[in-house]
Amino acid sequence: MRRSAARGSAAEVVGPCRSRPQQQLTASPSHATVVRGAPESYGMVVDSHEVHEEIRDLSKRVKGVIEGNFQKNATSEDQVLQGIRRFGPSAQSKKILNRENEAAMLALKTGVYAVWRCEEPKLSGANTDFCARIGYQHRCFCGHSLEEHATLKPSRGCVPAPRCQACACGGFNYVPNEPEEIGEGWLSRRRSWDPLKWSAKCRCGHGHKQHDPQKRHCKECGCGGFTSHFLCVVCDRDGESHSTVFELEQDRLKKGLPVREAFFPLMALDWSARELVLDDPTGGGALTAPPRNPALETNEPSSCDKRNTLQRISLPKLCPTSEPTPLLPQHCTGCGAIFRSAQVKFCSKCGKHRQQNAQ
């Protein structure tokens, strides 16, 4: 007998009790990254396109849940206004907006509008007209204010950048004056905060005050030129993406940009909110406060409120339903964890069942 015939098949060697052929174990298609079968193919890696498709589908569903249940911004405009009316504006935000209010008054008086502009913002919906209005109190890269520069004078239909009268600055070039303008507002809340020592940082680690106003090289290290190491909070772009622009009123009108009264800050808000933030909400007399409602000031109900009150009184009373709505506890009775919604039936921390309160 030949040796190959004596060995026989796998079933004959194993015997009748193990005559079932060996099955090839394969993972489900949704998680098929490894094929388990014969010893020579165990652990063999195959294509995982299906797994990637499943991950992408899951990420889309998670993104949809987040967009449907959470607001896009951390705080809405209504929440900000509510906080201003309740607690008042912060000192730094009030300082920045009052400077811009003075810049709008200067533009209304001279007809020259000075702005710090980024024409291609990174943030969607950002203001393409300006990131900051520039007035006499705003400071140049050289450290001197616009008031210390030459007078704004139109020349041949344009306004050149005014030169500084206190240094060899080539022309007014705005750089962020406050840490809030570049998202570093937490610095001004420190006890050791000194606004005179702060300056916008270069990539070399030194502020713009340590750089030469003409050649822009650093005085403290071998930096060849100032390169901004910050992002604007309005457009999310660096300093090199901005330009200091001086333009006339007629040029802005041709471009469809706001001028005169529309150029003032917070014009879209209620007048009472502008009074809380701005020292001079009238803009030096250019704006007029709307007429006040005596009923609101004396807390007396208006005729409309009285009519609504009569309508509410005449409404019939609603009878209670036969099956009252069950009361659900807000906290877990086992560990004290907070239930996120009324649909939650089990505690996410200890797993205890959420029981209804007895009425």
Write out the DSSP string of 290-323. Answer: PPP-HHHHTT---HHHHHHHHHHHHSPPPPPPSS
Q: Is residue 175 part of a domain?
A: yes
Over the chain (359 residues), the average pLDDT of each successive run of 10 is 45 43 47 48 62 82 78 70 89 94 95 94 87 95 93 85 89 95 91 90 93 90 91 93 94 94 91 91 87 56 51 49 59 72 75 68
d(CA 241, CA 117): 8
Q: Is residue 205 part of a domain?
A: yes
Closest to 135 measured CA to CA, from 112, 114, 116, 160: 114
Closest to 333 measured CA to CA, from 310, 314, 352: 352
Q: What is the pLDDT of residue 70?
A: 66
Q: What is the pLDDT of residue 264?
A: 96
With 0-12 CB in 10 A as exposed, 13-18 as middle and 19+ as buried, what is 239?
buried
Q: What is the pLDDT of residue 288?
A: 85
**70: its two tokens:** 């959470």
Q: What is the pLDDT of residue 332?
A: 77
The domain of 89 spans 80-277
Q: Is residue 36 part of a domain?
A: no
Q: What is the pLDDT of residue 324?
A: 55
**Total structural domains in the chain?**
1
Q: Among positive and negative, which fits the CA dihedral 154, 159, 160, 163?
A: positive
Q: Is residue 70 part of a domain?
A: no
Percent of the chain with pLDDT over 90: 39
Query: Phi and psi at residue 317, in whole multiples of 5°?
Result: -75, 145
Q: Is residue 270 part of a domain?
A: yes
Residues linked to residue 246 through DSSP beta bridges, in sequence order: 114
**356: its two tokens:** 């209804």
Q: What is the pLDDT of residue 325?
A: 55
Q: Is residue 203 part of a domain?
A: yes
Q: Is residue 268 part of a domain?
A: yes
With 0-12 CB in 10 A as exposed, 13-18 as middle and 19+ as buried, what is 134?
buried
- 297-344 residue pLDDT tens: 445 555 555 555 444 444 455 455 555 555 666 777 777 677 767 777
Q: What is the pLDDT of residue 224?
A: 87
Query: Phi and psi at residue 353, in whole multiples of 5°?
Result: -70, 140
Please list, in sequence order, all residues whose beta carbon lies within 8 angstroms of the beta carbon of residue 307, skipping any fewer than 6 positions away.
Answer: none
Q: Is the pTM of the predicted complex or chain greater than 0.85?
A: no
**186: its two tokens:** 């937490």
Q: Is residue 158 part of a domain?
A: yes
